Amino acid sequence: MTTTTTATTTAPLISKRAIIDWLGIAPFMIFALMFLVVPTLYLVTGAFLTPAGEFTLKNIADLFTPSILSAYWISIRVSVASSLGGALIGFFLAWAIVLGGVPSWVRSGLLTFSGVASNFAGVPLAFAFLATLGRTGLVTVFLRDWFGFNLYSTGFNLLSFFGLTITYMYFQIPLMVLILTPALDGLKREWREAAEILGASHWQYWRMVALPILWPSLLGTTLLLFANAFGAIATAYALTGSSLNIVPILLYAQIRGDVLHNPNLGYALALGMIVITGISNILYIWLRMRAERWQK
């Protein structure tokens, strides 16, 4: 009761200021609702509705048909392979420039290049790999003319799971380098010295000190790379057309021409993508908060 009275006596003053305060971010909130939140929620609710507008779980159940499951499975495999490969190579590169004792121009050069390459995705990246590893690409021709080695007779094909994976790694590795370099910079020299004084070998230092500190960064960034690859479409579409059936390409075809013959199943397909990228991003954010404990 008392709270209500105080509220009414000071209400005009407080509410006027509060209204101005909230009006200040109203444009942003309206923008976010109109172009981010509502469109997404529309698809999410649509995934649980029949075309007639009644509640149903059939769309979700229909995701578990072989053709859609196989699309998810290829997508997950490509994303896992390219994120693990990107994380591994990216880790070694970050390690080399931070702890490998190389000159500083190598470090700044690699970091600048990583900034560019992590943004060099989409259609042009597909062209670059076609010109390099395609049937008449530079490396293919080089191997054939100089070593008599025919890449394509080994069953290699750029328009395949493996080809897509190494193409995606072109933007995955630089992203890993960019995120992991600060984490490696955060490894304090004192920790290593303390470990050495206590008689730890190089291997023991990494296994018992450095990696336990780094693992949230490593795992978190790998998850970020996974989500990054999972949502990407332009590179795959330009590289393979629609011959490789990954989820974003299936969704693209569905938006273009309702290939699933059920609009609401399309919404469920989109929901599946949001769930997968959402979970990996939430885990990434949580792991990054854990990692930051050591970076103070």
Partner 1 sequence: MKAQRLGAWIAIAVGASYFIIPLLGTLEFSLRMRRGAYSFDAYQSVFSDIQFRETFGYSIIMALLTIVFGMLLVVPTAYWVRLRLPQVRPVVEFVTLLPLVIPAIVIVFGYLRLYNSSSILPLTGSTSGTNALLMFSYMTLSLPYMYRAVDTAMRAIDVRTLTEAAESLGAKWPTILFRCIFPNVMSGVLSGAFITFAIVMGEFTMAALLNRPAFGPYLQLVGANKAYEPSALAVIAFAITWLSMGLIQLVSRFQQSASPKA
For partner 1, the closer of residues 33 and 57 by Cβ is: 33
Instruction: Give the residues across from 49 on adjacent strands.
Output: 55
Least distance to partner 1, CB of residue 127, Å: 4
Q: Which is nearer to partner 1, 130 or 216 (CB)?
A: 130
Q: Does 121 bind partner 1 (CB under 8 A)?
A: yes
The answer to whether residue 187 forms part of the interface with partner 1 (CB under 8 A) is no
* List 163, 216, 220, 248, residue binding partner 1 (CB under 8 A): 248
Q: Coil, helix or strand for 55?
A: strand
Return the number of the residue (5 or 136) whose C-beta is nearest partner 1: 136
CB neighbours of 98 closer than 8 A, spacing ≥ 6? 107, 181, 184, 185, 187
Q: What separation, in Å, do the N-terminal and C-terminal C-alpha atoms of the chain show?
A: 46
Our finding on whether 14 is near partner 1 (CB under 8 A) is no
| Smallest separation (angstroms) from partner 1 to the CB of 110 | 7
Among 7, 19, 69, 106, the residue binding partner 1 under the rule CB under 8 A is: 106
Judged by CB under 8 A, the stretch of 21-29, 59-67, 203-211, 212-220 that binds partner 1 is 21-29
Rounded to 5°, angle at Cα 215 from 212 and 221: 165
Question: For residue 238, what are its two tokens?
Answer: 């330009």
The amino acid present at 291, given as its one-letter code, is A
Q: Are 90 and 177 in contact (CB under 8 A)?
A: yes
To the nearest whole angstrom, how small is the minimum distance from the Cβ of residue 5 to partner 1? Answer: 25
What is the rounded CA–CA span in Å between residue 145 and residue 138?
Answer: 11
Quick one: which segment of 41-49, 60-68, 148-156, 189-197 binds partner 1 (CB under 8 A)?
Answer: 41-49
State phi, psi for 154 to the nearest 5 degrees.
-85, 0
Choices 2-10, 143-151, 184-192, 267-275 (CB under 8 A): range interacting with partner 1: 267-275
Angle among Cα 282, 287, 293 to the nearest 5 degrees reads 135
For position 128 contacting partner 1 by CB under 8 A, the verdict is yes
Q: How far is the CB of 155 from partner 1 (least distance, A)?
A: 21
Identified binder of partner 1 from the candidate list 74, 126, 187, 265, rule CB under 8 A: 126
| Amino acid occupying residue 256 | R
- Applying CB under 8 A, the span of 64-72, 157-165, 272-280, 286-294 interacting with partner 1 comes to 272-280
Residue 130 binding partner 1, by CB under 8 A: yes
3-class DSSP state for residue 155? coil
20-28, 55-63, 183-191, 192-200 -> range binding partner 1 (CB under 8 A): 20-28
- Closest contact distance (angstroms) between CB of 1 and partner 1 is 27
Query: How does DSSP classify residue 120?
Result: -
DSSP, res 48? T
User: Quick count: other Cβ atoms within 10 Å of Cβ 270?
Assistant: 21
Give the residue with the Cβ less far from partner 1, 55 or 105.
105
For the chain, give the number of residues.
296
The Cα angle at residue 169 between residues 167 and 170, in degrees rounded to 5: 70
- The residue (of 30 and 57) whose beta carbon lies closer to partner 1 is 30
Specify the residue, 9 or 24, whose C-beta has the smaller distance to partner 1: 24
At 50, list the tokens. Answer: 């029949």
